[in-house]
Structure 1
Amino acid sequence: MHTAGLRALLHSVRYEVLPAKATEDKVLAHVPRDVVVTVTASPVKGLEPTLDLAARLASHGYRVVPHVPARLLRDDLHLKDVTGRLREAGVDDIFLPAGDADPPAGVYDGALPVLRRLSELGGPFAHVGVTGYPESHPLLHDDVTVQAMWDKREHATYLVSNLCFDPRVLGEWITRIRRRGVALPLYVGVAGPVQRAKLLAMATKIGVGESTRFLTKHASWFARFAAPGGYAPERLLIRTERALTAPSARVAGLHLFTFNQIAETERWRRALLDRLGR
């Protein structure tokens, strides 16, 4: 095992959090200022909780990356307003997925039109992330998702992969997108040390319609967490180490899905760094 490569990835992490009532306090209590914090957005709650929490965390000195799903933007005026608010708060990095809102809140049904519009506005954000799908998207063919990454490459600055629990699938996907010429730096999406019971409790708190969508879309996640021995993120990292640390993979770091188990995620990261010799 090439521990130096894994150590580097564990030092270059992003913690994805949900904009719940206690999130700000949890981040302040447990997350070092050198860890990037990304804030999700929900079709049920809309963008406001995300924008509010992003601004508050930025004021505390964190580098914050709000999620701005295209399908939650009403129109060009709304996009300009969101952009202005985030820039005023000192945010220079956003994550721009298509989003799950169905139907869309407005004129944008995917990320690419928003990316193009931001470019037309002069590129107000220094960093813009887009989604990659190691495991098949429930609605789109794999070739379509790879083509979408290619189409977005001129406007985005990095990729964030969705969750994948299969080391072979993840490694093959990284090789495939690089062979297709998608060269954007990649943050690999990894579930933190989440417990199934806590994940289920979190899912039921995010709104009836949204939690139903979450549970339906991610049923396989629960099977993984309930498997004998449970889920351990370090097992995935160690088994995928070669693919993640190869120079050709261009993996910039890890995007850790905390599911708001923020203290547990940071304790796990520090313990693993200690085991790897820092």
Structure 2
Amino acid sequence: MAILSIFRNRQAEVAPQASVFGGLLGGYSIEVMPRTAAKIDSFREFLPAGTRVYIAHIDGTPIEDMVATAKRLTDEGYVAMPHIPARSIHGKAMLEDWIARYVNEAGVEQALLLAGGVASPAGDLASSLHLLETGLFDRYGFKRLHVAGHPEGNKDIDRDGTTLLVDEALKFKQAWSERSNADMAIVTQFAFDAKPVILWAERIAAAGVKLPIHLGVTGPTKLQTLIKFAVSCGVGPSLGVLQKRALDLSKLLTPYEPEEFLTEIAAYKLAHPESLIEQIHVFPLGGIRPSADWMNQRLLEDRIAAR
């Protein structure tokens, strides 16, 4: 039986236990690519109604595919949040065309703004700040805008090896949020070690950033796959968690699961309710359905334990 069916219909059968995540998992978000979405018969089989689903825009993906995926998700009862990659957009006119299509054809009201994964911009838009400064998202009535956060640094910004430029960029986005009509939040790159994430969250808060943090984690994923993605995405200090795991033969052949990481974050959040860390965003590197099933099961157990 699908985990979501258990989540909906069999809560009373789950034995009470101590709450592990303290409500941290509630309202989790997840992401999908159009080519992955096309292979899924129904998201309703494994995603709770109303889940925010980011739509990853890989460079070269036709905007028609992005809009069609957003429409499908909206029609199925989910909140579609497409990526808007600045460096893949030729200019303001192209950006407005994309925004208009998302709004008029798919009912989109939310977006993740980011620079994008290409080295050279296709036009004069090179960052999420450039996207914000066009004013188009307010003009088209977007209710929520997210920007990227990098707890372990961003090699595309911090070319000198420091985190100063990343922190400054977040302060600019904080200032922009105070002028925008949209609610804003930070969604982070995935990590595996809670300590650098917590230190980063405390540091940006001390610098005056007040935007809520939606903390990135990976769903269950083969270790070899995870290390490949971690290296390509520039994950820093917490990569050591995976390398240590790779030395343990008993764990080498089993998928990595984020339970220890989430438990540490939940404990910190319980002790520091003022923390900017608000909720969890899932990168389904091992598949969207296994990732959603894993989250749904833990969320179910936590909710029962909290009764």
Q: Where on the TM-score scale, by shorter chain, does this alignment land: which range?
A: 0.7 to 0.9
Give 1 or 2: higher helix fraction: 1
Q: Residues 1-278 of structure 1: matches in 2 within 5 Å?
A: 3=19, 6-21=21-36, 22-25=38-41, 27-45=43-61, 47-88=63-104, 89-118=106-135, 122=139, 124-139=141-156, 140=158, 141-156=162-177, 157-196=184-223, 217-218=232-233, 224=242, 227=246, 228=248, 229=251, 230-245=255-270, 246-259=272-285, 261-278=287-304
Cα distance, 1:244 vs. partner?
3.5
Q: 3-state SS of the aligned residue for 1:193?
A: coil
Structure 2: how far apart are the matches of 1:268 and 1:167? 19
TM-superposition CA deviations, 1:71-128 (whole Å, max 9, x none): 1111111111111111112111100011112222222111101111136853631100
**Distance in 2 between the 1:271 and 1:180 partners?**
37
Contact residue 22 and residue 266 of structure 2 kept, 8 A:
no
Paired residues, what number?
Answer: 265
Letter in 2 for 1:112: L
What is the letter of the counterpart of residue 125 of structure 1? F
* Alpha-carbon distance change, 198 to 27 in structure 1, aligned in 2, over 3 angstroms: farther
AA in 1 matched with 2:73:
L
CA contact (8 A) 1:18 1:259 kept: no
How far apart are residue 46 of structure 1 and its match?
Answer: 5.2
Q: d(CA) in 1 for partners of 2:274 and 2:199?
A: 13
Helix, strand or coil at the partner of 1:95: strand
Q: Which amino acid aligns with 1:148?
A: A
Contact conserved, 2:56 with 2:83, CA < 8 A, in 1?
A: yes
Distance 1:37 1:121, change over 3 A: closer
Confirm or deny: 8 A CA contact 2:219 2:286 kept in the other structure: no
Q: Which structure has the greater CA radius of gyration?
A: 2
Name the CA shift for 1:114/1:193 in 2 (closer, same or farther; >3 Å): same
CA change 1:24–1:58 in 2 (3 A) is farther
Q: Secondary structure at the match of 1:11?
A: coil
- 2-side partners of 1:20 and 1:28: how far apart? 18
Determine the C-alpha separation between the residues in 1 that align with 2:214 and 2:220: 18
1:150 to 1:55, Cα distance in 2 relative to 1, 3 A: same
Query: What TM-score comes out, normalization by structure 1 length?
Result: 0.84
Specify the code of the residue in structure 2 equivalent to 1:263.
R
> Residue 68 of structure 1 aligns to a residue in which SS?
strand
In 1, Cα distance between equivalents of 2:286 and 2:303: 27
Q: Which amino acid aligns with 2:153?
A: S
Quote how far apart the aligned CAs of 1:223 are. 7.9
TM superposition shift of 1:243:
3.0
CA–CA distance in 1 between the matches of 2:138 and 2:202?
34
Counterpart in the other structure of 1:206? none
Contact 2:110 2:144 (C-alpha < 8 Å) held by counterparts: yes
For 1:259, give the aligned amino acid: L
Give the C-alpha shift of residue 222 in structure 1. Answer: 10
1:211 aligns to what? none
Q: Quickly say closer, same or farther: Cα 1:193–1:11, change in 2 above 3 A.
A: same
Amino acid at match of 2:299: L
C-alpha distance 219-267 of structure 1, shift in aligned 2 (>3 A): same
**TM, length-normalised to structure 2:** 0.77
Tell me the equivalent position of 1:208. Answer: none
Aligned position for 1:210: none
Find the residue that maps to 1:130 and give its secondary structure.
strand
Q: Which runs of 5+ in 2 are unaligned?
A: 1-16, 178-183
